[in-house]
Structures are given as C-alpha cells and as structure tokens.
Chains A and B, each alone.
Chain A
Amino acid sequence: MKTIIFKTASSYLLPLLLLFAIFILLRGHYLPGGGFVGGLIAAIAFVLHSFANGIERTRGIIKFHPGFLMPIGLSIALCSGLAPLLVGSPFMTGLWYHNPIPVIGMIGTALIFDIGVFLVVIGVVLTIIFTISETI
C-alpha cells in the first residue's frame, strides 16, 4: 500500500483530518458531532497515516505512546465533573461561561468533558490498533 500518491496525500490528509475531528468535536453541542465521533475520526487519521508511512513514522509524529491519552482524557473528564462541586453544585452539573468565544463557541464543563472523551477515544483506538499491528 505504499504508493507515492497515497504517501504524499496522507501527510497532507493527517492535519486536515485532525482539524476536521476537532471541528466535529466542537460543533457537537449544537449540530451532529461530538467527542466520541471526533475521537474516532482523529484516530482514523493517524491509522491512515500509519498505513501509508508505517507505524514507526506515525509514532514519531505522536512522540509519546497513545496510551497516555487515556489517563489524561479520563482526568480531564473527571475534573470537568468535579468542578461544579467547587461552586457547591452537585457532581456533573453543567457550568457555562456566558459569552461565546469566537470560533470555539460556548465554553462550559460539558465541552471540557467532551474533550476528555475525545482524548480517551483516540488513546483507546490507537493503543488497540498499534498493539495488534505490532504484535502480528
């Protein structure tokens, strides 16, 4: 599968697809999308890149083991759930910053939670796929 076209395209596709994944993640609250789908798309982007250039190259781009994304994502999600406790509301109450920020839109704990989900999903998928492809 290491054709030149595919290889060249993949290095342009990777950032584009990642941007798309983040786009999907951010629009999730109002339009179809969300952290889970976004995470899957981002993971597919990396998998595509690894198909074209080999897993070693992709690993080189990510720099660290994708498994580390799982605890990071989990803690982000947990923190977003715990944050409302600081202002005296129950666990996982949605808190929102009132003024929308350009490009990103409304910021709130739900978005942060979704970012956590996003990271966990990338971590999980890449860990599984990299592990399996390295083992076989």
Chain B
Amino acid sequence: MLLSVLSGFILAASLPLIGKYLKEKWAILFSLLPLSLFIYFLSFQPDISDDKNLLFSYNWVPSIGVDFNFHLDGLSLLFTLLITGIGSLVFIYTAAYLKGHPYLDRFYGYLAMFMSSMLGLVLSDNIITLFIFWELTSISSFFLIGFNNDSEASRKSSLLALGVTGFGGLFLLAGMVVLGYVGGSYSILELMNATDLIQSHPLFVSILVLVFIGAFTKSAQFPFHFWLPGAMKAPTPVSTYLHSATMVKAGIYLLARFTPVLGAHEYWNSTLIIVGCITMVYAGIHAIFRLDLKGILAYSTISALGILVFLIGLGTDDALLAAAVFILVHALYKATLFLVTGIIDHETGTRDVSKLSGLNKVMLPVGIAAGLAALSNAGIPPSFGFVGKDLIYEATLHIGDWAYLLTGAAVITNICLLFAGFLAGFKPFLGKLPVTYENVHLPSPLLYVPPLILASLGILFGILPLLVDDSLIKPVVAAMLNTSSDFFHLQLWHGWSTVLLLSSITIGGGVGLYFILNPSEGLLTKATRFEPISPLSITGKITGLFHGISQGYTSVIQNGYLRYYVITILVFLSFLLGYKIFQGIDLYLNVATLSEITIYEVIVLGIMAVSIVYTVFTKSRLVAVASMGVIGYCICLVFLFYSAPDLAMTQFSIDTLTVILFVLVLYNLPKYLKLSDTGSRVRDGLLALIFGGLISLLTLEVLNEPLEREISAYYAETAYKLAKGKNVVNVILVDFRGSDTMVEIIVLAIAAIGVFSLLKLRLKSIEKE
C-alpha cells in the first residue's frame, strides 16, 4: 500500500534517468502506472462492500504521533478510483495531446507526483500526513498549472493558485493541530469516537473556521473561488485532472471525511449551506456569460463544488447520498467535457464558443462523447446525472424550514449548469460548420477514446444504477455517516412526484435558456462590468498593497550601503538596550566587588585612549588602520590580565590578520579623502558614544547579576574525566560542543567561497569587457 501511494513520486524521481527514452514514442507507457493502481484499488472493492475496515500502518515518526496509516473505506475507495481511473485516461490522452513537447517527460513526472499526493491525501488516516499530502497536491499543481512557463499569464495564475491554496493549507495545518490537541489523537478513526468531546470543547469553533478555510480555498468556494478560472491557463489534461475530478474535490473530500467528526453541528451545517449556496448560484450565473469553453467549464465546476458543499452542509442521509452520487456524476461528465474542449482547442485552435459550430461533421465520435456528457450534466434521463439531480432535490425538499428557498437555489443552479453543459457539449458540434474549420480532421483515437469511455459510463450507470449502488455509493455514505446503513437504492425512475416536476422545470428552463440566450461579446462585457468588486480584483489590490509596502520597506532598510546597515542595527539596539536599562533595572555599581586597578591596566587604557583619538582624527587611512590594530592588541592584553590566554592568542592573530586585510584593501586607494561631511561625522560619533555607553552600562549591570558557577564548574570538573583534556576552552570547542565547531568551520568555508566567487567572478566579467 505504501508503495502504491508513493509510486508516483518514485516514477517522478526516476524520470531524469528514463524520461528521455520514453518521451519520444513510448509516452503512452506512463499510463501503465495509474492503470495498474486502478486495478489494484479496484481489487479492494469486495472488501469494502462487506464493510471491512482496511488499515495499513507504517511507522514514520511515532514519537510525535505522525505515521503513514492508510485507511481504505468507501469514501477513500471512491476517490482512489476516480484519481487512478480518470488519471489513466488523462495519462493516455496526454500522450497524444502533448505529443512531441520537449518537456513531456517532466509533465508526466508532475502528473505522477500529483496523483500520488492525491492518493496519499484520500487514504491518510493520520491528519498530519493528510496535511502533508494536501500541501503536496498544491505544490505539484503549481508546477502543472504553470507548465507553460514561458507565458506570463500562466506563471501568474499558477502563483495565484499556489498562493490561495497554500494560504488555506496553513489554516488547515492549524486546524489539524488544534483538532489533534482537542481530540487527543491524530487519527481520524480515533477522533470519530471523540465527537462529543470535540464538539463541546470551547475550541470547536476555531477548529471549524480553520478547517473551513482550508477546504474552501482548495475547493474554490466563494470568496476564494477566483483562482480556479485562472488555473485554466494550464494544458487541458491538467484542467481535466485537477479541476474536475481530483484536486478541487480535495476540499470536498476533507469536509466529507470530517463529517462524522465535526458534522451534525449547527455551525457546521449553516456555514456550509450558506457558503455552498452562494457559490453554486454565483458561479452558475457567471458560467452563463463566459465565451471561453474552459471558462464556462471552470465556473460550472465551481458551481458544482458549491452544490457538493451545500449537500454536505445539509448533512441529512438523503443529502449525503446525493453528494456521494454527485461526486461521481460530476467527475464523469466534467472530465469528459474538459477532454473534449482540449480536443477542440487542439484541432481548431480556438475555444471561443461563439465561433464554434457544426464540428459533428468532422469529428463525430468527439461530438458523441460531448453530447452524452451534456445529457448527464443536464440530468436528462436516462443519464446518471438524472439520478444525481433527483437525489439533490430529494435532499433539499425534506430539509424543513428552508426547503423552498434552498430548492429554489438548487433549481436555479441546475438550470445554469445545464445551460453551461449544453454550451460546452452541444453548441460546438451542432449547426453549420464554418468554412474555416472544414479541413479540421478527426484526431488520434488516443484523444477521443478517453472522453468517450467516461461519457458512456455516465449513461451506463444511469441505466443500470445497480452497478455502482451497493458496490461504490453505499460504502461512501456509510463512511460519511460512520454507520453501515441500508436504507436506499439508487433508481432511475422514482415515479410521479414533486422531484420529477422539479427536474422537468430544470430541464425545460435550461433548454429554453439555451435557445434564447446566445453567447456573445456583449453579454461578456456586461458581466465584466462588475469586475472591480469581485473577490479576484480585491485580492489583487491587497496583494499589490502588500507588495508596495514591502518594497518601500525593503528599499529603506536594505539600501545597499554598509554604513547605513550598521547605523540601523546600532540605533535599533540602542533603543532596545536603553529602554531595558532605564525602564526595568536599578542602576547601581558596587565598587567593593570590583578588583583593584593595577598599573598595567592604567597604562593599557591610556594607550587605548590615545589610539582611539588617533583613529578618529587622523588624516591618513593607514594610520587609522594601524591604530585600530593597536586598540585590538590592547584588548588582547586586557584578556591576558584576566587570565584568558586562549582568547588573547586568538584575538592577537585575528587582529593581525584584520590589519593585513585592511592594508591590502586600502593600499591602492588614495591616501586620504574626506568623504563624509561634518554633520554625518558628528552623527556617527554621537551614535557610537551612545551605543558604547549603553554597552558599558550593560556590562556593569551584568556584574551585579548573581553569577551561575554551575556550568563552568561542571566543565572544569569533567573536562579531564570525560574528554581527557586539561584546557577546558579547547575541550569545549573540540569535544563538548564539537558539533557547533563543525558547523562553524563549515560557515567559515562558505564565507571564503563567497569572497572568492564574488571577487573572481567580477574579475572575469571585467576581463571579458
């Protein structure tokens, strides 16, 4: 199981070796991976419908309770099958769609990584690994969306997608940590038993908010939906895979997964209902006005995700059943429509729905696939979509107080979705074929067979719901309810009822709308008039503001002048020290505790004072450097007086080297130049005096603190016993704190390499000129 989850990463990692042999002609072989995974997961299906709980445990970091525990139940099974099944078709499709692309191998690597992350996400029982896989999907999708990295729009939208989903991911992490803290476990299975404890905990609301933000950003719920239409810049296989069937459903999965833990609570239900409702209606209406096929599909996807959130929010048995069915329905028809859009784009070079028509004459199989998907999308019998839509109405009608309002919202959404589906599924294929597209030809079967398979499944499941009823759907609902339930059967025909009436209204309304409303530029401009108040532009403005502030801040602080850096640091430290010294601590100096002043110290201090005056007021650079060296040597002498010979030795050598370095650098400069004016010299002098004074005060203060002799006593005692050395300083350096020293010499080496490369590289570029 671990291997199957990580196989995508293994494939991606092995690409540098095998990629270039495969990408030319054998790209289709990549699809063996998802296909074999699909079969592997399908083999678990009998166990799942027998209500067996399959748990595969692998230790990872047991000390903090983070392990690879893969739990396969109905919900995970549905998602793994979608991920690997649609994954296989997308892999096959890509082989033809991106044929001859120079980075095809890389693309497969990203896809495989993404697939593995998704599998890990839906299988993880441990909420921390769940989060890790969650973030991995964001990261791999970043690469996929930005695959055409020479286009600026593509880079921008991938960054936006990463920003929004990554932002949500952080909230999710916080939510998971709080949840683990409250529930006392990181395992979802164990958390399910602690539902009462969690829901009555004062932190419950914050868990909800955090988890919601995570799920809403990922599943493109209002007001975080705006990254999804942008992400359509990705190659179509990516849109198909990520944005119809898998990644955007991760948020839905999260909500469904946590329904038994966090669900059935007033806040949970009402938030999800409201957000889902707004999203589905808002995005549904948006979808009507789009011209770009992918734009239409993007908005209808957001709308469908809204429906799912809404259904999970309703939380009744009916609603969860409807959600389970709708996940499958939507994945099947939306993936088909995306794949078809890709074919249209590939063959005709446009995705503008107002320009496309009559393509049935040149690519009939594609048209059939699109038509079947549009039927399922519209919920016209006998498609699987019809079953799904009936269940949705069933769920909304039985909700009680708000039944009429919610059913109304659902009807409006479904009308919009139906319209969008017709626009994408029928419009390009029916009617008269424009002259420009007459020599368009049928693409390779690799392209049109995958959508055909998906679309036919959408119809097949509708005619024979038995196929998926007991085997797939029921375990999903059981997993969401955390009980094994046996109360329903999927049916195509429910008899004459309100639900049927609503379905007819939907279909009638949608078809009517399709004939009345013609997609045109005019409608799009009307819709774009509201752009300035959309969440996208508001976020854009906030990001811009953020950018501006940080740029201004950076150009003030990081101005590139070493002297200003030093001034900034000193001023900041002076404020900090000054505040602390004059606010918190009583200043007093106990003269009695100080040791007596010797004549040597007085002499050394005198030399130092003279050198300082010399350094500051001398006219010659070399003299200044030399007197700095004298000051350094004096400090060494002070160290010697106070019995720190090691320190003194090192300081001597360092000072010597510093002077040499200075001389080397200054040797070729003019002897003296008065570069700074009197004003700044006075300022620097004042600053130096203040800072020096504060440090002196601080040192005196430290003397007053009771001295902790324990550590030095420990070292003095054990240095010889444990490390066989008598020089405690050196023993600490090479033995007790040896790792520190190790890292320090690495840092030294890096610094030397830095100096070397900076100067030598600059030299080379000057030589070139």
Which of A's residues lie within 8 Å of B, judged by CB? 24, 28-37, 40-41, 43-44, 47, 51, 67, 70-71, 73-74, 77-78, 81, 91-92, 94, 96, 106, 108, 110-111, 113-114, 116-117, 120-121, 123-125, 127-129, 131-133, 135-136
Segment of B37-45, B288-296, B331-339, B719-727 in the binding face: B719-727
Q: Is B760 an interface residue (CB 8 A)?
A: yes
A131 touches B730 (CB 8 A): no
Are A129 and B657 CB-contacts (below 8 A) given A78-B742, A117-B734, A135-B760? yes
Q: How far is the CB of A33 from chain B (nearest CB, A)?
A: 7
- How many Å from the CB of B700 to the closest CB on chain A? 28
Per the bound structure, the CA–CA distance linking A33 and B648 in Å amounts to 10
Main secondary structure of the interface of A (DSSP, over half): helix
CB-based contact A37/B650 at 8 Å: yes
Determine whether the beta carbon of B657 is less than 8 Å from that of A47: yes
- Given A41-B653, A121-B745, A128 and B755 touching (CB < 8 A)? yes
Most chain A beta-carbon neighbours within 10 Å: one of B646, B723, B742, B752:
B752
Name the segment of B389-397, B555-563, B659-667 touching the other chain: B659-667
Sample of 5 more A-B contacts, CB < 8 Å, known A73-B745, A116-B745: A32-B646, A40-B650, A96-B724, A114-B734, A117-B734
> Could you say which of B664, B726, B739, B760 contacts A136, with CB atoms under 8 Å apart?
B664
Query: B657 near A33 (CB under 8 angstroms)?
Result: no
Q: Is the CB of A70 within 8 A of B646?
A: no
Say yes or no: A31 contacts B727, CB within 8 Å: yes
Could you tell me the distance in whole angstroms from the C-beta of A87 to the nearest C-beta in chain B?
Answer: 17
Complex partner residue of A106 from B724, B731, B751, CB under 8 angstroms: B724
Once bound together, how far apart are the Cα atoms of A136 and B763, in whole Å? Answer: 10
**How far in angstroms is the closest Cβ of chain B from A96?**
6
Q: Give the residues in chain A near B599, CB-CB below 8 Å.
A: none
B689 within 8 A of A: no
Known contacts: A29-B725, A37-B653. The answer to whether A74 contacts B734 by CB under 8 A is no
Among A28, A67, A128, the residue within 8 A (CB) of B730 is: A28
A-B contact count (CB 8 A): 145
Interface-centre pick from A43, A44, A94 (highest chain B CB count, 10 A): A94
Q: Which of A33, A92, A125 contacts B738 (CB 8 A)?
A: A92
Partner of B734, one of A30, A34, A129: A34
Residues of A contacting B730 with CB < 8 Å?
28-29, 33-34, 114
Chain B residue at minimal CB-CB distance from A41: B653
Q: Which residues of B contact A30 (CB under 8 A)?
A: 725-727
**In the complex, chain B residues whose CB is within 8 Å of the CB of A128:** 661, 751-752, 755-756
A14 to B425, alpha carbons, bound, how many Å? 87
A136 B667 Cβ-Cβ under 8 A: yes
Bound: A106/B724 CA distance, A:
9
Known contacts A117-B745, A136-B667; decide if A131 and B646 are in contact (CB<8 Å): no
For A21, give the chain B residue with the smallest CB separation.
Answer: B653
| Given A34-B733, A123-B752, A29-B727 contact (CB < 8 Å) | yes
Asked if B656 is an interface residue, CB under 8 A from chain A, the answer is yes
- Given that A40-B653, A67-B752, A132-B759 are contacting pairs, would A33 and B727 also be in contact in the complex, using a CB cutoff of 8 Å? yes
Q: How far apart sit A52 and B762, CA to CA, in the bound complex (Å)?
A: 28
In the assembled complex, how far is the CB of residue A99 from the closest CB belonging to chain B, in whole angstroms? 13
Contact of B759 among A34, A111, A131 (CB under 8 A): A131
Q: Are A35 and B738 in contact (CB under 8 A)?
A: no
Contact status A110-B723, CB under 8 Å? yes
Q: Which of A34, A114, A124, A131 contacts B748 (CB 8 A)?
A: A124
Known A34-B730, A74-B746, A120-B749; contact A131-B654, beta-carbon cutoff 8 A? no
Chain A residues with Cβ below 8 Å from B745 are: 73-74, 77, 116-117, 120-121
Whether A129 and B749, one on each chain, are in contact in the complex, defined by CB atoms closer than 8 angstroms, is no
Question: When A and B form their complex, which 9 residue pairs have the shortest distance between CB atoms, in order from nearest?
Answer: A40-B653, A32-B645, A124-B752, A29-B725, A34-B730, A30-B726, A70-B749, A120-B745, A127-B752
B668 interface hit (Cβ, 8 Å): yes
Number of interface residues of B (CB under 8 A): 43
Chain B residues numbered 179-238 whose CB sits less than 8 Å from any CB in chain A: none
CB neighbours of B551 from chain A (8 A): none
Can you list 17 A-B pairs, Cβ within 8 angstroms, ordered by A? Answer: A32-B649, A40-B654, A41-B653, A70-B752, A81-B739, A92-B735, A94-B724, A94-B735, A110-B725, A113-B741, A113-B742, A117-B733, A128-B756, A131-B760, A132-B755, A132-B759, A135-B763
- Nearest chain A CB to B722's CB is how many angstroms away? 7
For B759, list chain A residues within 8 Å (CB). 131-132, 135
| Pairwise interchain contact B742-A77, C-beta atoms closer than 8 A | yes
The CA of A3 and the CA of B649, in the complex, are separated in Å by 28
Across the two chains, which residue of chain A brings its CB closest to B734? A110
CB distance from B674 to the nearest CB of A (A): 22
Q: Which residue of A lies closest to B766 (CB)?
A: A135
Selected contact of A43 from candidates B657, B726, B749, CB within 8 Å? B657
A133 to B248, CA, bound (A): 59
* A117 partner residues in chain B, CB cutoff 8 A: 733-734, 741, 745
Nearest Cβ distance between residue B763 and chain A, in whole angstroms? 6
Among B661, B727, B746, which residue has its beta carbon within 8 angstroms of that of A28?
B727
Most buried by A among B650, B730, B753, B763: B730
Instruction: Contacts A32-B645, A37-B650, A136-B664 given; indicate if A120 touches B727 (C-beta within 8 A).
Output: no
User: Could you say which residues of chain B place their CB within 8 Å of the CB of A114?
Assistant: 730, 734
Instruction: Provide the residues of chain A in CB contact with B654, threshold 8 Å.
Output: 40
Are the CB atoms of A110 and B748 closer together than 8 Å? no
Q: How far is the CB of A55 from chain B (nearest CB, A)?
A: 10
Per-residue A-contact encoding for B643-687, CB less than 8 Å = 1, 0 else: 001100110011011001100110110000000000000000000
Minimum CB–CB distance from A36 to chain B (whole Å) comes to 6
| A89 CB to nearest chain B CB (Å) | 12
Given contacts A28-B727, A29-B724, A135-B763, contact A81 B738 (CB under 8 A): yes
A127 CA to B755 CA, complexed, in Å? 8
Contacts of B668 in A (CB 8 A): 136
CA distance A133 to B734 in the complex (A): 32
Residues in B whose Cβ lies below 8 Å from that of A77: 741-742, 745
Report how far A47 CA is from B656 CA in the complex, Å. Answer: 10
Residues of B within 8 Å of A94, CB to CB, are 722-724, 735
Instruction: For residue B745, give the distance in angstroms from its CB to the closest CB of chain A.
Output: 4
CA distance A35 to B727 in the complex (A): 13
Minimum Cβ distance to chain A for residue B765 (Å)? 12
Residues of A within 8 A of B646 (CB): 32-34, 37
Q: How far is the CA of A131 from the CA of B661 in the complex (A)?
A: 11
Chain B residue at minimal CB-CB distance from A36: B650
Q: Which residues of A contact B733 (CB under 8 A)?
A: 34-36, 117
Contacts of B727 in A (CB 8 A): 28-34
Neighbouring A residues of B731 by C-beta, 8 Å: 29, 110
Instruction: Known contacts A132-B664, A132-B759; decide if A113 and B738 are in contact (CB<8 Å).
Output: yes
**In whole angstroms, how far apart are the Cα atoms of A65 and B187 in the complex?**
57
Q: Which residues of A contact B724 (CB under 8 A)?
A: 29, 94, 96, 106, 108, 110
Q: Across the interface, do A124 and B751 meet the contact criterion of CB distance under 8 Å?
A: yes
Q: Please, how many angstroms separate the alpha-carbon atoms of A29 and B728 in the complex?
A: 8
Please state if B741 and A136 are interface contacts (CB–CB under 8 Å).
no
What distance in Å separates the Cβ of B105 from its nearest Cβ neighbour in chain A? 34
Minimal Cβ-Cβ distance residue in A for B723:
A94
Q: Which residues of A contact B753 (CB under 8 A)?
A: 67, 70, 127
Most B-side CB within 10 Å, residue of A34, A108, A111, A116:
A34
The verdict on A67 contacting B726 (CB below 8 Å), with A116-B745, A129-B657, A136-B668 known, is no
Q: Whole-angstrom distance between the alpha carbons of A113 and B745 in the complex?
A: 11
